[in-house]
Structure 1
């Protein structure tokens, strides 16, 4: 996976793919049987689906056919393995658990949380709430800190 990400995707995809692989390669998982290359392709494509890899507006961008050709696994196999992973992990597009770091700031699902019974976008919350959410691991960083850096 590392070489493929280095050559065709980026380090962010590699990091998130490793994280997903750690989740799906548990004892008793179907991922632990069959061809490792097929499952690796399924894991990478699942991360790609979460992060809109096939969207021309995305960078990097690859269609499933381009991906299959580059990784050397058929589209049908990639689809089948990805479906098992997608369903087993209950993944969705923009899934905050497996969004690449560069997309987290613009991913609304990363920032939504229930506060006092109300759904709130934590990017617009008071700093104290942002800090508490960060300390609890709910959000990846304190948005107000990034806003200060962007304005410098």
Structure 2
């Protein structure tokens, strides 16, 4: 399932055509050169931009917006770092997207500044990045800082329900353990 199908319901009807055009481009790029997780994160970011009032997506070239979105998600997840998998240099990304590198990076930085997105932002991070980022999991409980991954499952569920952590680690570990290995 592509990112477009997962987030269409959260996009205002007035922005749906613009959203669809941008996500069609990000899906095509991500599924060809990156992976499905990148496609889903790009669709999530596109939907957030489409919901912004007024949406910045209404003005400008959809292709440039798509490139900026891919760049922003790639930057959050260190895509240009050769130690990451998948890995893609910024100049290669711009070439594959058919845009100038400076145009793509400027649009990506504008997106990140507009939505206050930083490196390793849990909302737009790949699962691997989230798992490695201890700041994602630190919570204050009764005045003490604790790692949510070490809390009992009912407390993890409550922290997830409140939006304090991205997923319930106890349940993720159980589903991973029951998944047959290849």
1:40 corresponds to which residue?
Answer: 66
TM-superposed CA distance for 1:28, in Å, is 1.9
Structure with more relative contact order (C-alpha pairs < 8 Å, separation 6 or more):
1
Instruction: Count matched residues.
Output: 152
1:52, 1:58 within 8 Å by CA — same for their partners in 2? yes
TM-score (normalizing by structure 1) = 0.88
1:95, 1:109 within 8 Å by CA — same for their partners in 2? no
* Greater Cα shift, 65-74 or 118-127: 118-127
1:46, 1:85 within 8 Å by CA — same for their partners in 2? yes
1:123 corresponds to which residue?
Answer: 149
Distance 2:27 2:93 in 1: 15
Query: Is 1:82 aligned to residue 108 of structure 2?
Result: yes
2:64, 2:104 within 8 Å by CA — same for their partners in 1? yes
1:12 corresponds to which residue?
Answer: 37
Distance 2:82 2:64 in 1: 25
Segments of 5+ residues of structure 2 without an aligned counterpart are 1-25
Moved over 4 A (4+): 148-152
| Structure with greater helix share of residues | 2
1:66 corresponds to which residue?
Answer: 92
Distance 2:130 2:162 in 1: 17
* Greater Cα shift, 46-55 or 30-39: 30-39
1:18-61 residue CA offsets vs partner (Å, 9 max, x unmatched): 11111112342333211010011001110001111011111110
1:54, 1:63 within 8 Å by CA — same for their partners in 2? yes
TM-score (normalizing by structure 2) = 0.75
1:111 corresponds to which residue?
Answer: 137
2:122, 2:166 within 8 Å by CA — same for their partners in 1? no
Distance 1:74 1:122 in 2: 42
Segments of 5+ residues of structure 1 without an aligned counterpart are none
* Greater Cα shift, 15-24 or 103-112: 103-112
